[in-house]
């Protein structure tokens, strides 16, 4: 049976599990949503969404300095207890996350952090580009709007940390990685904030592709 995007979206909304996990569960259940939910529950993934309302006030501030001290990252990740914060899984996640931020240069943690005016600006740019393309001259407005939304989704994937493909495993997003850790630890895990420093940023100097260097180093 073909597993459609709509089926995956529906299961994801009901369980809070990651996109890849939902697709795998639906495939295993031959498209039966109830069976897929049961599969996710047994794997401990469906309960992750229930933990979203909990308070996560413990955690740690992780750091990563790229070779030569050219790029540095500080990131705060929260959980519910100091016990989990000191655990190997949590500490490894924070370290990997700092390396990811160094390589992928996100601007925001989540979609909610993106200013509405910036989204509208990106939407206006996408609309102008779509209408200026001769290939789109005879396309109906609803198709144009879908193209525009596609550009906005791409912007989120590039600029929002939780939407970015994880640099060490492109098959999952950072957000899905958080869901995995939440399920594994049994506690709410939350990326609160980060700061990325790049040596000489804002000053006139020779341009270098630090992101490519970092990405190559962590593979």
208 pLDDT tier (thresholds 50, 70, 90): low
The H-or-E segment that residue 198 falls in is: strand 190-198
Q: How many residues does the chain have?
A: 219
For position 188, what pLDDT does the model report?
87
CA dihedral sign, ordered 111, 112, 116, 118:
negative
Residues 159-178 pLDDT 10s = 999 999 999 999 899 999 99
Residues 3-49 pLDDT 10s = 998 898 888 777 767 778 888 899 999 999 888 888 887 776 655 66
Mean pLDDT for the chain?
86
Tell me the mean pLDDT in the region 79-87. Answer: 91
For position 73, what pLDDT does the model report?
96
Is pLDDT of 62 > 90? yes
Residues 179-188 pLDDT 10s = 889 888 888 8
Q: How many CA atoms lie within 13 A of 2 on its CB side?
A: 3
For position 197, what pLDDT does the model report?
93
158 pLDDT tier (thresholds 50, 70, 90): very high
Distance (Å) of CA 63 to CA 57, 122, 208, 213: 19, 31, 22, 17
For position 45, what pLDDT does the model report?
60
For position 51, what pLDDT does the model report?
64
Read off the pTM.
Answer: 0.68
pLDDT > 70 fraction of the chain, expressed in percent and rounded = 87
For position 212, what pLDDT does the model report?
67
Residues 187-207 pLDDT 10s = 889 999 999 999 887 776 555
Is pLDDT of 124 > 80? yes
Is pLDDT of 86 > 80? yes
Beta bridge partners of 63: 74
């Amino acid at each position: 049976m073909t597993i459609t995007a709509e089926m995956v979206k529906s299961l994801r909304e009901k369980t809070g599990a990651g996109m890849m996990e939902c697709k795998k569960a639906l495939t295993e259940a031959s498209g039966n949503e109830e069976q897929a939910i049961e599969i996710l529950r047994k794997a401990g993934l469906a309960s992750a969404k229930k933990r979203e309302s909990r308070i996560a006030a413990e955690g740690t501030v992780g750091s990563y300095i790229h070779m030569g001290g050219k790029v540095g990252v500080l990131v705060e990740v929260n959980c519910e207890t100091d016990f989990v914060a000191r655990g190997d899984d949590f500490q490894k996640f924070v370290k990997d996350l700092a390396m990811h931020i160094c390589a992928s240069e996100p601007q925001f943690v989540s979609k909610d952090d993106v200013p509405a005016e910036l989204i509208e600006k990106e939407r206006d740019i996408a609309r102008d580009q779509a209408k200026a393309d001769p290939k789109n001259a005879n396309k109906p407005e609803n198709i144009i709007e879908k193209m525009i939304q596609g550009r906005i989704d791409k912007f989120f994937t590039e600029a929002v940390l939780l939407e970015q493909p994880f640099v060490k495993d492109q098959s999952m997003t950072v957000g899905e990685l958080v869901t995995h850790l939440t399920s594994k630890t049994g506690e709410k895990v939350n990326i609160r904030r980060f700061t990325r420093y790049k040596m000489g940023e804002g000053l006139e100097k020779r341009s270098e592709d630090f992101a490519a260097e970092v990405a190559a180093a962590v593979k």
